[in-house]
Structure 1
């Protein structure tokens, strides 16, 4: 009896050592070419394996191989793969291989992310694991706080008026013999109250315009580079459309420029697209209409003179970006397996528009022109 127990224990120990011995033989993976034929065979096995599990919908087809690494496990080669796929026009469960299918032209345009582990021998590919994210992960996100201060771009045109009245207030109350003009904006927020409340953090630079000769800033008031002097301020300005009087900013200032940590955009010293605007916004002018909730793309493009107009424009389409030539040493991501041509919704034609035009009034009936009298 004891001999049988001893043999069983010895057999379990041998099995344990053999199993864990194989696990220890796996070497760390090394990156390999995404367009290597063995990698393509491994991905083909992974896509086939995933399609076998589908019972509804459409089969997946490879789009691009993103990365591939290879390690050794005894006589097998272990491939760790990351790739993207798209739904094909072949229904799930059909005998047609995915390599004979085309991409589904409608529906989801974003590629589907997949990862897989495939054991490869000289003759066979065995997919041990494959996962594809068929639906985007829903990330819970808090709703924006209505009425809370929202940070806005420091070069936004919405800041022209509150900055103008703030600088005008400083020039009227400072002991300096010269006027100061805007140097840079470090931080700005906008809050919906009874109108809009702007909180500004900015600094100014002394100009060549003496207060005895100039009442307000104008085109002649340029920064004095011979006698450099700065002042920085915190300002709160309430702007409402129905108020006909100029808002009175609450402003606190001190000598010196803003700390460099508050100026978060690289620009030439003293550069600001808002400086030239301040001359056209006088404190005696009536407050402007309420600013938009956010600057449009067109206005943002006009406000930033730092944009490099000679640089090539990248398409916003993720497919075009992924299909771009990649100069990675491992040719990753690979070229798309097939070009993807989604169906574009056609604009209404002139004929279709005319179909919805109202019919002419019947003879003797009233028409729109009869109401103009």
Structure 2
């Protein structure tokens, strides 16, 4: 706090609270970010508010908070879906805030007491609509997405041989205006050269001793327009020794028998291959096209 904090009479008791909203919002966010409670809390009632005019403004606010049905595991911050629990934990907080002459919260401190709810039963976990969720790495819905992803990688890297996806490590999907996939995978060099083959085919085998790439992809899918926009980031790994695999080997059935780490070759540097929705008036790539 700024100014003479020992002169309590300099504080003005506020009868209405319209100016407190940004401070209260900051206080609730501060509490949710700095406590170990598994649930998010929301504002219940403002009990007291005082203001002191200095070179800026000092505020001292006491208010009650209440537990919501939104867990921190599924929600990063409060949303309209987060509702107060009548038998949840409650608390009382006192915040001291200094607002500078640019109307910014320049100094903030908080003290809270939490009181356990009576006969509290944990409600069913609230699902975060629109948040990314994990999906199985062998999910059939990934197959077409992976096809576009590896096509994008091969089209824009400068390697002599095609790469194919060897192992999907992690996959998530997020519902947006369409779907956005987040995929972590390993791609490995094949025996098919770009000079001799127009595209990667099922008959292209992974080299027994070949280069590998550690990649992550974001793939935006607009199903009703049959459009797919992949962005791929890759980091080169060492040379990997692999058991011989039959043509058409699926990345969902990876089997590695050993590793030999070598210096990475200069033509396989860290790369990013982007696919973006086209500008207004331009025709985006079709379902089978990759820009």
For the superposition of Structure 1 and Structure 2, which TM-score range results when normalised by the shorter chain? 0.3 to 0.5
Q: Which one has a bigger Cα radius of gyration?
A: 1
Kindly indicate whether structure 1 or structure 2 has the higher relative contact order, using CA contacts under 8 Å at least 6 residues apart: 1
The structure carrying a bigger strand percent of its residues is 2
